[in-house]
Structure 1
Amino acid sequence: MTSSSGAPARQPGPPRAVGPGAAAPAGPDTGYGYDIARTDPRAPGRLGPGAPAAARPRRRWLRWVLLIASLLGILASLVVLYLVVIRPLGIGTALVALTAALVPVALVLGAVWWLDRYTPQPRLSLVSAFAWGAIGSVLLSLFFGTFFDAWISPQEETELIDSFLGATVQAPVIEETMKSAGLFALLFWGRRYISGPLDGVVYAALIAGGFAFTENILYFGNSFHQAQAAGTVDVFWQTFFLRGVLSPFAHVSFTALCGLGLGIAAERRSLMLYFGLGLGGLSLGMALHALWNGSSFFLPVDPEAPLAGFLRYYVTVQVPIFLLLVGIVLFLRLREKRILRRQLSEYGRAGWFSPDEVEMLVSMRRRRRAETWAGRHGAVARMGMHDLIRAAISLGMERHSVLFGRPTARTRARERELLEQITADRRLIGALTAPVVRG
């Protein structure tokens, strides 16, 4: 085996630096055995060896069974959703409602893409989160909402009381619980999905965006039926303006609070914070949901300008809340960049990355330039550069999370796996980009 420079590579063993100020050779158990010289062979072994991992047999068949069961569950849920929601509207009305619902969901997906592209999550998990919000949480909300509404309703209730309880109690409690169940499921499957606050916000936004997408189809379809019955389109456009233009991020704001709490708890690796911050964020999301739904019962309505009172409330109450949440999300995005720079710089001081590489890895523009440069040498080189960037990002974020808790054999194995992947990508890129004949 030869290195990218054409020189024979050293056999696996502790790396040795060459030249003035080189570090002393490390013992046999201190290095990872790579053929790339590093200034500090012991780093990043400062986390310690960790506890010995218990040998557990792999159960790949169980993973396949769960995957197939999930796909069958999604297909069955789609059929039920079609029979319960889409079919009663009619094909023509459903198409109109679907087209109108694409506008707000496109805004949500665009915002999620911008948030997630710095430390991207697995695409399959992102699609699953959106599917849970659009299908699973909607069906469960319709199912449990009926029983919960009957439980909280008084024996003698008027239509106004029933509408008020449904909007301010039943909808916030049931809908936010069902949406947040998807976040808890992601935590159950592993911390690789939600490992920090921004991860929790991204998945929560996708779940809430999927829920709002299906709910908007139902609302837009009903308003379109009313517009046809009245012979005017004012009802439909008013509904579209309120839900599609003014409040595309309403559900996202509610559920993001639970995702934020769970993400902070996952980063701190604290079981108590999972319950405290998770339930706290869920409760706060329910409160904001109730405030949003209940405003229509208390705002004065002017027959000549029916939207004037709502717009005043929207500007004075909902817009500041939304801007506060946007500020929190932007802070989390900048925080991830600082975390990545700090942790990769630690690896850089150990010799794993050069200063220029660290600058490339923390800059979106330089990442694109690096992939473009690699792409000039073929698609395989570009894929290798893309994989190296993804592995380095995971390495930095994993390192940050491990520092909050006790390192274990699993975290050490994950670090070793990522470092081996980065080294393999370096060799691949070097082999594909180095000239065959040197001048």
Structure 2
Amino acid sequence: MSTALLESRAAALDKTAWGEKFRFVQPRNVVFWIYLWLCGVGAVKGWQMFAPYAGYFGRALLVAGIVAVISVIVWGWWFRHIDRFERQPVGLVVTGFVWGATAATFTIALPGNTALGSLYTKLFGQVWAEDWHAGLTAPLVEETAKGVGIIVLLALAPRLVRTVTDGLLLGAFIGLGFQTSEDFLYSFAGATQGFGAHQTDGLVGSIAQRTFSDIISHPLFTALFCAGVMYLIGSTAQPRRIGRGIALIVAPIVVHGVWDSMIAIAGGSAALTIVIMVGDAIFALTALWIAFVWAHPREAHFVRDVLAPEIESGVLTDDEVTAAGGWRQQRQYVKAGGHRAERRRRRHLVRAAVDLCGDLAASKGADTVDVVTSRGEIARLRSEHPS
């Protein structure tokens, strides 16, 4: 293989730190102790909030917990699915999730929301505060509480948190942790209505409402916010882009604020509330799509650098490497195959190319057993389904 291509591969793997491990216990890192303290405080506060009700409302807490676990599994699977190239270490993902579920929720957001809501009541009156305090409190306090999480992860794993895509995916897991705790809180609140006389009815209603609202919720908000933070900070793998950073930080705050204030904005009109809800959702999803579009060229560039030597050696074609660099490129490449068998062959080849990229990242470019196996799988696909 060309020396220049191998050097480019090594440089790409060094910049992205794809394949590197995460070590959580860092006694010499002050951020590690701050993390433990804030998450510990959050866990204790959460326990103190629910423990007194565990007896009478035990069934509601159990059902809410089961639903929360199912939600985490479903959303977690999806976020790992879109982590396309070299997935973040599970330990780092769990660290972000725990921050969102404990420190961001119970240590920072709940006291902050309460304090700011009380201030609004004193300054503007009870009626105004009931209409607007959610939309003018939660976006500022909660997005900041969750956004601090990406700074914490950056301090704990500076080599692993480097690109905007890292911010998007880790931010989604931080937001998922926050959403899980918040859903549990709302589900429990629904079960305790009417002094708990109809726990199941109230719980089902709360779960249904939260399941719907979770489509445009904290994982999306935090993914955008943390991507914006990564643009503002910059790294060896990601040039600083202040304009994009500010835009991605402001966007979820605005979306969150409108979402929480849509009834007040609509003046009580059900029809206008639906219009605002749909418009806000479209804006949020569009912002997320733009964030991925902005992040894609850097990721695709690194993928090409990692896989370029495989083109030279004949393992992959240029079109296959291009398709491995993004979902849209993959769809175009697969669609161009024409008949079903060829489209299936192309889809499997692209997946195999992505797997090879991950194995090369884990081995830092060395020809390990996994790398050789991935190359063999690509060769097998070609022999069984010749074009």
Same fold (TM over 0.5): yes
Describe the superposition over 1:13-60 as per-residue Cα deviations: whole angstroms up to 9, x where unpaired.
xxxxxxxxxxxxxxxxxxxxxxxxx34469527999xxxxxxxxxxx9
Shift of 1:167: 0.3
Shift of 1:221: 0.8
- Say how many residue pairs are matched: 335
Matched, 1:282 2:249: yes
Q: Which residue of 1 aligns with 2:26?
A: 63
Q: Which residue of 1 aligns with 2:221?
A: 254
CA distance change for structure 1 residues 248 and 365 in 2, over 3 Å: closer, same or farther? same
1:51-200 residue pairs with structure 2 within 5 A?
Answer: 63-64=26-27, 66=29, 69=33, 70=35, 74-75=39-40, 77-85=42-50, 87-88=52-53, 90-139=57-106, 140-155=108-123, 157-158=125-126, 160-200=127-167
Distance 2:102 2:197 in 1: 31
CA distance change for structure 1 residues 338 and 212 in 2, over 3 Å: closer, same or farther? same
Matched, 1:356 2:316: yes
CA distance change for structure 1 residues 179 and 121 in 2, over 3 Å: closer, same or farther? same
Shift of 1:425: 1.6
Describe the superposition over 1:86-109 as per-residue Cα deviations: whole angstroms up to 9, x where unpaired.
544643322222233345444432
8 A Cα contact 1:201 1:263, kept in partner: no
Identify, as 1 or 2, the structure richer in helix.
Answer: 2
Distance 2:247 2:47 in 1: 34
Residue type at the aligned position of 2:188: G
Matched, 1:392 2:373: no
Shift of 1:144: 2.9
8 A Cα contact 1:262 1:274, kept in partner: no
Shift of 1:284: 2.6
The runs of 5 or more residues in structure 1 that have no matched partner are 1-37, 49-59, 372-385, 395-417, 434-439
Residue 365 (structure 2) aligned to one of 418, 422, 425: 422
Q: Which residue of 2 aligns with 1:216?
A: 183
1:197-346 residue pairs with structure 2 within 5 A?
Answer: 197-226=164-193, 231=198, 235-265=202-232, 269=236, 273=240, 277-299=244-266, 301=268, 310-315=273-278, 317-328=279-290, 331=293, 335=297, 338-346=300-308
Distance 2:37 2:317 in 1: 44
1:374-413 residue pairs with structure 2 within 5 A?
Answer: 389-390=357-358, 392-393=360-361
8 A Cα contact 1:196 1:266, kept in partner: no
CA distance change for structure 1 residues 183 and 274 in 2, over 3 Å: closer, same or farther? farther
Distance 1:42 1:102 in 2: 45
Describe the superposition over 1:59-111 as per-residue Cα deviations: whole angstroms up to 9, x where unpaired.
x9992455984557645532331112454464332222223334544443232
Distance 1:229 1:254 in 2: 33
SS of match in other structure, 1:63: coil
The runs of 5 or more residues in structure 2 that have no matched partner are 12-22, 325-329, 331-346, 377-387
Shift of 1:235: 5.0
Distance 1:230 1:428 in 2: 60
CA distance change for structure 1 residues 43 and 366 in 2, over 3 Å: closer, same or farther? closer
Distance 1:71 1:189 in 2: 12
Identity of aligned residues (%): 19
Shift of 1:265: 4.7
Shift of 1:282: 2.7
CA distance change for structure 1 residues 270 and 280 in 2, over 3 Å: closer, same or farther? farther
Distance 2:144 2:69 in 1: 25
8 A Cα contact 1:340 1:393, kept in partner: no
Distance 1:61 1:321 in 2: 37
CA distance change for structure 1 residues 120 and 428 in 2, over 3 Å: closer, same or farther? closer
8 A Cα contact 1:261 1:281, kept in partner: yes
CA distance change for structure 1 residues 249 and 283 in 2, over 3 Å: closer, same or farther? same
8 A Cα contact 1:227 1:236, kept in partner: no
Distance 1:310 1:154 in 2: 28
CA distance change for structure 1 residues 290 and 73 in 2, over 3 Å: closer, same or farther? closer
8 A Cα contact 1:198 1:332, kept in partner: no
CA distance change for structure 1 residues 42 and 175 in 2, over 3 Å: closer, same or farther? closer
Describe the superposition over 1:385-417 as per-residue Cα deviations: whole angstroms up to 9, x where unpaired.
x7x7435347xxxxxxxxxxxxxxxxxxxxxxx
8 A Cα contact 2:234 2:240, kept in partner: no
Distance 2:227 2:168 in 1: 5
CA distance change for structure 1 residues 105 and 333 in 2, over 3 Å: closer, same or farther? farther
Describe the superposition over 1:276-300 as per-residue Cα deviations: whole angstroms up to 9, x where unpaired.
6545433332221111111122335
Shift of 1:230: 6.7
8 A Cα contact 1:167 1:294, kept in partner: yes
Describe the superposition over 1:174-216 as per-residue Cα deviations: whole angstroms up to 9, x where unpaired.
1111000001222333443332222211111111111011011
SS of match in other structure, 1:192: coil
Distance 1:116 1:122 in 2: 11
Q: Which residue of 1 aligns with 2:379?
A: none
Residue type at the aligned position of 2:88: Q
